[in-house]
Amino acid sequence: MKLNEQGNLKYYTFENIEKTNIVKHCFSTKFGGVSTGCYESMNLAFREDKKENVIKNYEILCNSIGVDYKNVVFSNQIHQDKIYKVIKKDIGKGLLKESDIKGYDALITNEKDIVLVTFYADCVSIFIVDPINKAIGMAHSGWRGTVKEIGAKTIKEMTKEYNSNPKDLIVGIGPSIEKCCFQVGGEVVEEFKKDLPFSENYIFNDSVKDKYKIDLQGIIKQTIINSGVLENNIEVSGLCTMCNSNMFFSHRVMGNERGSLAGIISLV
């Protein structure tokens, strides 16, 4: 990933996705917005923040990457595996008007100038671009979504809706809590082993008794490969939001007193 800086504003982009030349995208950081207090400064979810500050943050970030903030669309995320096909009538839902897109953790579209947005504060963002059929997907994958293979399911949905060939897809796996910090108990490990037997290769004993560390980005990459995407077409950030809580909002570091990061992508 590449860090982009414009004054106080800082955001990341995937080099493989930039090379497609058909999308504008970014993964945000804390920096460059107008929010204050625990939301300082580029908070992109309403939470308890002032509505006008969040909208202004979208305006700043979207203008910077070259998309219209009025065209953003987002869902409330519930750590499940439902996928929503976004069309023009959905523009503005979640930010500028009430959204009926409830209970979806992934968004897909093949229409230009729709800005897909998903939120993060340790979970994993999955950016998907089909440069042949001109379609995009954005998936929010926490540990539950990872067990449910939401990334692979989003690819399957793009194949069904847009005739995408997994071999053509370009994928970016964004900053999240990494294996250095993602400590869990045995009950979470059992979920992974039951539904994703290969994940055992990405689970490690922690120095704390009966605790484990899990490599979410690695597991997601493998599920994406298993769905037919070429390994060379996948860029993994390798950035840990918890280690880098000076740059990113991290739920494990900050709890609920924090802002939210966003993954943003739009066909242009």
Domain assignment present for residue 186? The answer is no
Q: How many domains does the chain have?
A: 1
What tens digit of pLDDT does each residue of 150-202 get? 999 999 999 999 999 999 999 999 999 999 999 999 999 999 999 999 999 99
What tens digit of pLDDT does each residue of 55-93 get? 999 999 999 999 999 999 999 999 999 999 999 999 999
With a CB cutoff of 8 Å and minimum separation 6, the contacts of 209 are none
Domain assignment present for residue 53? The answer is yes
With a CB cutoff of 8 Å and minimum separation 6, the contacts of 104 are 75, 77, 82, 83, 84
Separation CA 67–CA 72 (nearest Å):
9
Q: In angstroms, how far apart are the furthest CA atoms of the chain?
A: 52
Nearest to 261 by CA among 1, 2, 41: 41
Domain assignment present for residue 201? The answer is no
Q: Which structural domain, as residue segments, surrounds residue 142?
A: 2-179+231-267
Domain assignment present for residue 207? The answer is no
**Torsion-angle region of residue 46: left (phi > 0), alpha (psi -120 to 50) or beta?**
alpha
Average pLDDT over residues 128-141: 98
Positive/negative CA dihedral, 27, 134, 148, 92: positive
Domain assignment present for residue 195? The answer is no
State the pTM of this model. Answer: 0.98
Domain assignment present for residue 216? The answer is no
With a CB cutoff of 8 Å and minimum separation 6, the contacts of 232 are none
| CATH number of the structural domain spanning residue 150 | 3.60.140.10
